[in-house]
Structure 1
Amino acid sequence: MLDLSKRLTTSYNAEPKIWSGASEPSSYSNDLTIGEIIFEQLQKDPERICQISHSEKTTLTRSQLLENASKVGAYLRQEGFIEETDMVAILARNTTHVASLAFGCMFNGTPFHGVHPDVIESIICHSFNITKPRIIFCGAQDYDKLKHVADKMNNEIKQFETKMVIIDGIVEGVTNILDIFKNQLQPDYKPERFKNGIDRMLAIINSSGTTGMPKAVTISNSRKIFEFYRYLSENDIQYSPSSLDWVSGIMVLTSAAVYGTLRVITKEAFGVTSFLTLCEEYKITWTLMSALHITMIANSPEVNAKQLRTLRYILFGGDRSLIETLEKLQAYLQYEGILHQLYGMTELGCGSTCNLGPKSKLTSVGLIQPNIRMRIVSESGEALGPNEYGELHCHLGQHWGGYYDNIAATREIQDSDGWVYTGDVGYFDDDNYLYIVGRKNDFLKFMSKIYYPREIEEVIARMPEVAEVCVFGIWNEIDGDAAAASVVTKAGCQLTANQVLEFVAGNISENYKQLHAGVQIVPNLAKNLNGKVNRQAVKEEFLKATRQI
């Protein structure tokens, strides 16, 4: 296992008050697209198996994947996909031919809009009214819902008719990706070349939609999406439950192709039992998942050290993980430094910080990834120094296209100098480690004092009986936002609301951060489709239970 700490360093320049990751040159020319890079890499060791589908019992060699992807690229070119605005939609689970489809799009320079097939129809319609995909690729099980979406689009958009192509299963009378694979391929086929290919749009992924309908986030051909994982090799076996509606799904797909790993997939949703089976059967060395999945594994009675013995890198993000959870999981792992917490957002198109394991600062999201800069900014726009709370701004050092067809929203999140306003409140400590306190709009005010729910959550999470916690404010006209908490206990543990109240009182001195609105012990916390706790839904359940609504 490689020591990554030498690559992950953060420096602080006190004059402009900017923190920077290491300067690291790319291995590839800016004129190349990721599709061109992958096309070259797949030609090496052509008979080597590069993908195994556990759920479908299929394997693909590099030469098979290259041929299938090339045929998809040629098909798109034949169908008139030339401009950057000529898009396709991919609504797919991790099935056998998704990689061929995605790489074919990359070969042709065709952006794909990744949306999860379980998303409700109204959001899919909203999303596709923005990007107007000319082809929808989906599985047979989702055909009826998406055919209805396509018919709506065809009635509203008269320039072209949206086609349907099945990539998993069969629907009679509908084009199948297997039909595309039967096409003859010109022996001299090569990916399309574009000037400054690094800036061309690679994909579109929906924003989280926490403040309304999702926006269409453009993802460029930036090398950052895979180059931090250049430590990967042909000896690594990768698994991630993320599909192509997540940046993490694209990160895993591209890094596997560029660095020649074996990628294990399954179309089934994540489950602890299936994950342990994959680890043991395929000897997984590298995995990327959500913080929720980490919690599920650590607290599962099924887990044991033997099943996880081959893991060398466990990357996770999307939310915080409790210190106790990380320490509990670490006890099953063969080496220290396996757990890597990432911080990022869809708009950044990559993980932007990384914490390299439980022996570093566990409540921090770590140090800055190479070639990324950050600053902390006050409400008045003043740059702040170490240990001062403010909004985190990030600079990727290269072009980001913003939200597709939404200039106004792009200007709200990115300034003219390229700084992206994350909306997250945090600070850097004296050792240049980043800490995220909460969302800019999540702050609460009690008796004119500002606090963030996460500050209280981190204290409650230290209780050994606590599995999950969510803190929120209950407003009243005298005091403002009084803090309340919903707490989930670990299996077999007993905990009362009074014990939580007393623990907070004993560990937080400020009166305005006390749980003045009460505590509720609940069986679970409401979550969004992405696995993050839905704070508003938890609050509504609390209010109903206490008969305040």
Structure 2
Amino acid sequence: MSYQPKTHYDAVDKIWSSEKEKSQFGEDLSIGEIIFQEMVRHPKSVAQVSDSEKTILLREDLLNNAIRIATFMRNLDLTQRDIVGIIARNTTHISAVAYACFFNGIALHSLNPAYLTEIIEKLFQNTKPRIIFCDGDEYEKVRAATAKLDVKIVTMRNHPKGAISIQEVLKTPAEEGFRPTSLKQGNTHPIAILSTSGTTGTPKAVVMTNHRSILSGFTNLSTADIQFGSSSLEWALGLLAVISAGVFSTKRIVTEKPFDPSEILRIIEEYQVSWLVQTPAQMAAIANCPAFEKANLQSLRSYFYTGGRCTREVQKKLGRKVGGGILHFGYGFSELGSFATLNWNFDAKPNSVGRPCPGYKIKIIDDQGDKLGPNEEGEVCINKGIFWPGYYGNPEATKEIYKDNWLHSGDLGYVDNDGFLYVVERKKDLLKYQSNKYYPNELEELISRMPGVAEVCAFGIWGVENGDEGAATVVRKPNVLISEKDVEDYVAQHAVTDFLRLHAGCLIVDDLKRSPNGKTNRAANKEYFLQAKGIQIIT
């Protein structure tokens, strides 16, 4: 179990805070310098195993590769003012690319390979990377998107003719006496630029810094741990996995293949994974996978999940399998670049995202901006105790959510008498049916308890007479036959209020619509529901 900070509640200021954690590394060291020294300390331990490519890298192999890539960047005269672009999956050498950036003090800007050309163009036109590392699968798309930029493109796999391959870069002679570069801006220097989910338009570029808070939730890792997570570098979880594996000298299992629950269960068992991090959607897929009941998950020591709501049914099913003491529900968002809270007390607080991580503060505010006390619901605001640079090249958007060092999450929640945070729903997702307020997750929690339901996404369909009428898309468990009427009847029979119903109906689907990071996309599911049902919204 990780270090658990004491939580303090200031009843006058109505702020919850936790004591700062003492770092085991020198405060003057950058993340790149820490990773460099730790790789030197453990040269013969296994750093990474690629399940899909069947490669194994010792720490000295990974270090030498990162030094060669960093030297290649230095030979191009890249400085700490430059940006390195990445659009790649978890292949063998992508970690070395990230470490090379950290060693040089150059921020990486990682995008999802599934992004459309116009989105890539807008995002990279903002940060203007000097070099981009991408999979050959996306080479032509990236080349078209960056036609207006002076940029080199290096391919990581499936190399097209004429492209610079990562193998060529790895032939670069290492700089003699290579050492990581000290950061001119200290721990406020950018380490990475990640993208928001983009569900409401073009994704925004979130700046993450070298501050130690980036390691929140990871300090329980040790050299004995075997890490696995499905996210690649364009998402915070993927980036944090690469960073923490380097800092704490763990063995990391990677795969370039798309998420598949049965394959994840095989990987956990085959490699004896001890440390796992997933999204709630991935948890639900695993819990409802036919191979789940027979899977051996005894190697797991820590099972983290974050990135959205997780139904009690899924948590209970996983808890029965691995033990509640292993499950840790966390809360964070792209702008934080780390966990803000973590629940180390699953058995006592099974649906809470936990207390503040070391050095973090929480306040809950109402619509007027006034602070609320324990058990009072309002918007969750987070203070990391450090300056956040904001959205790259977008000061207007930064000002909207960052005020007086507080990040306004847009999530509704409350803190109980013991200092545990509960996230209720996105503020904008609050629904109203005939003056009765409810949240989509109330329907989701109810429907998820129905035998035969694997996953569900609920939303409101607006009508002139009633307001937001409840609706849902539902995924059935394999070999289970339940109809849309069965779901509607179940809700009517088990809801505790008269208005919580599927007034707009239900749609059985093969899978939910998701954002590129694997999170359930409520807006996309609603749009699909409207198209399938032939419903037109009249405003």
- State the TM-score, normalized to the length of structure 1: 0.92
Any conservation in 2 of the 1:30–1:196 contact (CA below 8 Å)? no
Offset of residue 508 of structure 1? 4.5
Offset of residue 279 of structure 1? 1.9
Any conservation in 1 of the 2:290–2:478 contact (CA below 8 Å)? no
1:131 maps onto 2:130 in alignment: no
Any conservation in 1 of the 2:199–2:515 contact (CA below 8 Å)? no
Offset of residue 330 of structure 1? 2.9
Tell which deviates more after alignment, 499-508 or 443-452. Answer: 499-508
Alpha-carbon distance between aligned partners in 1 of 2:55 and 2:501, rounded to the nearest angstrom: 55
Unaligned 5+ segments in structure 1 are 155-160
1:486 match: secondary structure: strand
Any conservation in 1 of the 2:80–2:107 contact (CA below 8 Å)? no
Q: Tell me the alpha carbon deviations over residues 509-549 of structure 1, each in whole angstroms, 9 at most, x when there is no partner.
A: 44444433333444433222222222223223333344323
Any conservation in 2 of the 1:88–1:136 contact (CA below 8 Å)? yes
- Overall identity of the aligned pairs, in %: 40
2:156 match: secondary structure: strand
Closer, same or farther: CA 10–412 of 1 in aligned 2, 3 Å? same
Tell which deviates more after alignment, 212-221 or 423-432. Answer: 423-432
1:157 maps to: none
Tell which deviates more after alignment, 303-312 or 488-497. Answer: 488-497
Unaligned 5+ segments in structure 2 are none
Closer, same or farther: CA 261–485 of 1 in aligned 2, 3 Å? same
Offset of residue 316 of structure 1? 1.4
Offset of residue 87 of structure 1? 0.7
Closer, same or farther: CA 42–507 of 1 in aligned 2, 3 Å? same
2:441 maps to: 454
Tell which deviates more after alignment, 296-305 or 170-179. Answer: 170-179
Offset of residue 306 of structure 1? 5.3
Closer, same or farther: CA 230–136 of 1 in aligned 2, 3 Å? same
1:407 maps onto 2:390 in alignment: no
1:56 maps to: 53
Q: 2:514 aligns with which of 518, 523, 527?
A: 527
Q: 1:222 aligns with which of 211, 214, 218?
A: 211
2:180 match: secondary structure: coil
Tell which deviates more after alignment, 455-464 or 112-121. Answer: 455-464
Alpha-carbon distance between aligned partners in 1 of 2:291 and 2:188, rounded to the nearest angstrom: 46
Which aligned pairs between 1:417-436 and structure 2 lie closer than 5 A? 417-436=404-423
Closer, same or farther: CA 276–519 of 1 in aligned 2, 3 Å? closer
Closer, same or farther: CA 507–429 of 1 in aligned 2, 3 Å? farther
1:441 maps to: 428
Any conservation in 2 of the 1:7–1:22 contact (CA below 8 Å)? no
1:367 maps onto 2:355 in alignment: yes
Q: 1:44 aligns with which of 21, 41, 44?
A: 41
Alpha-carbon distance between aligned partners in 2 of 1:331 and 1:236, rounded to the nearest angstrom: 23
1:82 maps onto 2:76 in alignment: no
Q: Tell me the alpha carbon deviations over residues 223-260 of structure 1, each in whole angstroms, 9 at most, x when there is no partner.
A: 12225322211111111111110111111111111111
Tell which deviates more after alignment, 135-144 or 344-353. Answer: 135-144
Q: 1:114 aligns with which of 105, 110, 115?
A: 110
Q: Tell me the alpha carbon deviations over residues 322-358 of structure 1, each in whole angstroms, 9 at most, x when there is no partner.
A: 222222223332x441121221101000011222365
Tell which deviates more after alignment, 342-351 or 526-535. Answer: 526-535
Measured on the aligned residues, the alpha-carbon RMSD in Å equals 2.1
Offset of residue 381 of structure 1? 0.6
Alpha-carbon distance between aligned partners in 2 of 1:471 and 1:134, rounded to the nearest angstrom: 43
Offset of residue 261 of structure 1? 0.8
Offset of residue 47 of structure 1? 2.0
Closer, same or farther: CA 516–245 of 1 in aligned 2, 3 Å? same
Which aligned pairs between 1:246-265 and structure 2 lie closer than 5 A? 246-265=235-254
Alpha-carbon distance between aligned partners in 1 of 2:492 and 2:192, rounded to the nearest angstrom: 48
Q: Tell me the alpha carbon deviations over residues 159-189 of structure 1, each in whole angstroms, 9 at most, x when there is no partner.
A: xx21111223434433223223222223321
1:518 maps onto 2:514 in alignment: no
1:200 maps onto 2:189 in alignment: yes
Q: Tell me the alpha carbon deviations over residues 356-379 of structure 1, each in whole angstroms, 9 at most, x when there is no partner.
A: 365232222222211111111100
1:95 maps onto 2:91 in alignment: yes
Q: Which amino acid aligns with 1:15?
A: V
Offset of residue 64 of structure 1? 1.8
Closer, same or farther: CA 411–52 of 1 in aligned 2, 3 Å? same
Any conservation in 1 of the 2:5–2:21 contact (CA below 8 Å)? no
Closer, same or farther: CA 525–140 of 1 in aligned 2, 3 Å? closer
* Alignment coverage as a number of residue pairs: 536
Alpha-carbon distance between aligned partners in 1 of 2:179 and 2:534, rounded to the nearest angstrom: 65
1:384 maps to: 372
Q: Which amino acid aligns with 2:62?
A: L
Q: Which amino acid aligns with 1:309?
A: Q
Closer, same or farther: CA 468–54 of 1 in aligned 2, 3 Å? closer
Tell which deviates more after alignment, 57-66 or 375-384. Answer: 57-66
Closer, same or farther: CA 502–174 of 1 in aligned 2, 3 Å? closer
Offset of residue 305 of structure 1? 5.3
Any conservation in 1 of the 2:215–2:240 contact (CA below 8 Å)? yes
Any conservation in 1 of the 2:216–2:340 contact (CA below 8 Å)? no
Q: Tell me the alpha carbon deviations over residues 28-75 of structure 1, each in whole angstroms, 9 at most, x when there is no partner.
A: 444322111111111012122211112222121112211221222222
1:350 match: secondary structure: coil
Alpha-carbon distance between aligned partners in 2 of 1:124 and 1:196, rounded to the nearest angstrom: 28
1:148 maps to: 144
Alpha-carbon distance between aligned partners in 1 of 2:389 and 2:355, rounded to the nearest angstrom: 26
Alpha-carbon distance between aligned partners in 1 of 2:505 and 2:18, rounded to the nearest angstrom: 42
1:457 match: secondary structure: helix
Q: Which amino acid aligns with 2:29?
A: L
